[in-house]
Every structure is written in structure tokens, then in C-alpha cells.
Structure 1
Amino acid sequence: MVVVNAEPATSLVFARWTLHGDGRLTGGHADIQLPPKEGQVLRLLLASGGTLMTKDRLLELAWSRGEVADESLTRCIYSLRKHLGTDKGFIKTIYGKGYRFTCPVRVVSDPSRHVMHVCSFCGQASNA
């Protein structure tokens, strides 16, 4: 379980990258405003604590309304890897199952805001 502040000021830091609460991905000379689904999928992977996130679970959490094809998730992962460039290997494909994020992640938040726990399995937040 990763401790995450539920406020938009929460950032997830891995290697030289930071995923900001507003969906911006920054690192090196990059400052990318991720589309909402890409930001959500990346946040779910970062919060997973290195455990496997199945395709079904990612689809359920990121595309909670209606039917969506696996292809949408595949395109999303492709795009995230493209943004990460040389660090694209952080998102490891577990063939036939899903994805695993392989880089350690730390949470950076404003300590004056309340802390929430995010379940590494489902991404659901609860009060600490």
C-alpha cells in the first residue's frame, strides 16, 4: 500500500520523473500534460507497489463506464512508454496478464494536507 495525499498537490516521483496531481509528467527537460486516461493508468501503475496490475483491473478502474477494448489500454501503455523514452522499460508487460511498474516510487505531498492510503490492488483511497 502506498500512502498518497488525495489532494491534487500529491506527486509521485520515480527515477527522474514526477507525475503531478494535475496529470503533468515532468522529468529532465520534459513537461507533458498527459491525457486523462494516460495519467490515470500511470497513477494506478505507480500506486501498485510493483505488483501486477491485470489488464481487466486497469480497464475496470480507468474505463469504469461502458465497454472498452483491450486495444485502448494497449494504446495508452504505448503512449506512456513513448513519453518515458529511455525509461520505457519501467512499464513491464506480463504477457497475457497485465503490467507491472518496476521502478521504486515515492510520494511527495504537502504535509499540511491530510494523508490517505491508496490500495495497491485497486487504487481506492481511504482515510489514514
Structure 2
Amino acid sequence: MVVAVEGLMTASLAFGQWTLQEDGRLTTEGRDIQLPPKESHVLRLLLTTPGVLVTKDCLLEHVWPDIDVAEESLTRCIYSLRKQLEGDRGLIATVYGRGYRFNGRVRVVARPGLVQAVGAHTAACPACGWCGERV
């Protein structure tokens, strides 16, 4: 499972009017936002498991590995991502006390003209393969 998702960690991912580019830029018509690395990583982890709860512990463990970081850092990342997404803020849902879930369809943009959907059948975190769950 982790091997299959590793390719998604470097692919461009399209959702709604937005595309998270391979290099961490969030683009839409007329906008090109260079996300900070942690925000890009959090968004990518959520996009690779649409419809699946990704726990706070999982996100903290994989976005800030080997660092004891407060949950507030993750909360600030989510706040900033929602602010960047403007009218699409509802795409990132909070499951209070547990984590976050991406609510939307995600397509992998592998190369120009090649698009495929990211399956929502996965019930595990893309980084570790165990801490995501359906809610």
C-alpha cells in the first residue's frame, strides 16, 4: 500500500478548480501560490486519501518526523490551507478531536493529457498505511 501511494506523493493532484503541483505550488486559473513545505505536505497527505480520516497523530508524525511539535502547528497549517482555498474551504473537514478528512474528488495528473482518479477505497494513511480510517 505504501509503495502504491509513494507515486502520489510526487505527482500533481487536481481537485475542484485547484491543482497541487509536484513542486508544492497550488494553482488555479489566474493564481499560483507557492505553499510552504509543511502546508504542501499536509495537503498532499489529505489529497492522497480522499474521504478518509487522517488522524492528527499521523499527520504530525509524517509532516514533522523526529520533532516534538505541538498540535497547534498542524492547526495553523490547516487554517492557512483553508484560507488559500478561499471558497473551497469545506474541502478539508475537521473531525473534532481526531483529525482531518479531504471531502472531494482528486485526480492524478501524471503527464499532460493523462488523468486518473484517486480511489477513496483506501482506508489508511498514505504515509504509514495504518492510521487513516473511514468516518
Structure 1 unmatched runs, 5+: 112-118
Distance 1:84 1:69, change over 3 A: same
Q: CA deviation at 1:66?
A: 1.5
Structure 2 unmatched runs, 5+: 113-121, 129-135
Q: How does 1:78-97 map to 2 (within 5 A)?
A: 78-97=79-98
Other structure's SS at 2:100 match:
strand
TM-score, with structure 1 as normaliser: 0.82
Q: CA deviation at 1:120?
A: 6.1
RMSD: 2.5
Cα distance between partner residues in 1 of 2:59 and 2:95 = 13
- Ranked by relative contact order (alpha carbons within 8 Å, sequence separation 6 or more), the top structure is 1
Identity of aligned residues (%): 57
Q: How does 1:1-128 map to 2 (within 5 A)?
A: 5=7, 8=10, 10-110=11-111, 121-124=124-127
Determine if contact 1:5/1:109 at 8 Å carries over to the other structure. Answer: no
Structure 2 residue identity aligned to 1:51:
V
TM-score, with structure 2 as normaliser: 0.78
Matched residue, 2:132: none
